Amino acid sequence: MIKVFKVKDLIGYLAKIIIVLVAVALVIKVLEIGKKDGETETATDSSSAWLFCIDDMLPQIGINKKVEETKETSGIKFAFSSELEVMESIEDNEIVEENTANVEEQNNNNVSEENSQNETSNGEINKELTVTEVDNSGVNPRYTDEYNGVFINNGTNYQLTQEMLTPDVEVNKNKVVIYHTHTCESYTPTEQYQYTASGNFRTIDLNFSVSRVGDELEKWLSTYGCTVIHDRTYHDYPAYNGSYSRSLVTAQNVLSTNQDADIVIDLHRDAIADETYGPRVKIGDEYVSQLMFVIGTDGANSAHTNWLQNLKFAIKVQQKANELYPGLFKPIILRNSEYNQHVAKAACIIEVGSTGNTLEESMGAMKYLARIIEEM
3-state secondary structure at position 125: strand
Q: Fill in the amino acid letter for 162.
A: Q
| pLDDT exceeds 50 at position 289 | yes
pTM over 0.85: no
Rounded to whole angstroms, the Cα distance separating 282 from 342 reads 34
Instruction: For helices 7-34 and 75-115, give the axis angle rounded to 10 degrees.
Output: 160
pLDDT score recorded for residue 6? 55
Rounded to whole angstroms, the Cα distance separating 143 from 205 reads 35
Beta bridge partners of 254: none
Rounded to whole angstroms, the Cα distance separating 267 from 291 reads 10
Q: How distant is the alpha carbon of residue 291 from its chain centre? A: 21
Q: What is the pLDDT of residues 206-230, one digit of tens each?
A: 999 999 999 999 999 999 999 999 9
**CA distances for 182 relative to 20, 220, 234, 240, 244, angstroms:** 73, 22, 7, 8, 8
The C-alpha angle 306, 307, 310, rounded to 5 degrees, equals 90
Q: What is the pLDDT of residues 145-181, one digit of tens each?
A: 999 999 999 999 999 999 999 999 999 999 999 999 9
What's the residue count for the chain?
A: 376
Q: 141 near 134, Cβ under 8 Å? A: no
Range with the lowest mean pLDDT among 100-109, 128-137, 237-246, 289-298? Answer: 100-109
Write the Ramachandran bin of 237: left for phi over 0, alpha for psi from -120 to 50, otherwise beta: beta
Q: What is the pLDDT of residues 257-273, one digit of tens each?
A: 999 999 999 999 998 76
Q: What is the pLDDT of residues 28-46, one digit of tens each?
A: 554 554 444 443 333 334 3
Helices (H), the chain: 7-34, 40-57, 67-71, 75-115, 162-165, 210-223, 243-256, 307-324, 359-375
The total of other beta-carbon atoms located within 10 Å of residue 5's CB is 11
For the chain, what is the mean pLDDT? 80
pLDDT score recorded for residue 84? 37
pLDDT score recorded for residue 24? 63
Q: What is the mean pLDDT of residues 248-261?
A: 98
Higher pLDDT residue, 12 or 69?
12
Rounded to whole angstroms, the Cα distance separating 60 from 82 reads 13
Beta bridge partners of 229: 177
Q: Which residues contact residue 329 at a Cβ distance below 8 angstroms, ignoring those fewer than 6 apart?
A: 290, 291, 292, 293, 318, 321, 322
Q: Fill in the amino acid letter for 303.
A: A
| pLDDT exceeds 80 at position 334 | yes
Rounded to whole angstroms, the Cα distance separating 5 from 3 reads 7
Beta bridge partners of 332: 152
The reply to whether omega before 189 is within 30° of 0 (cis) is no
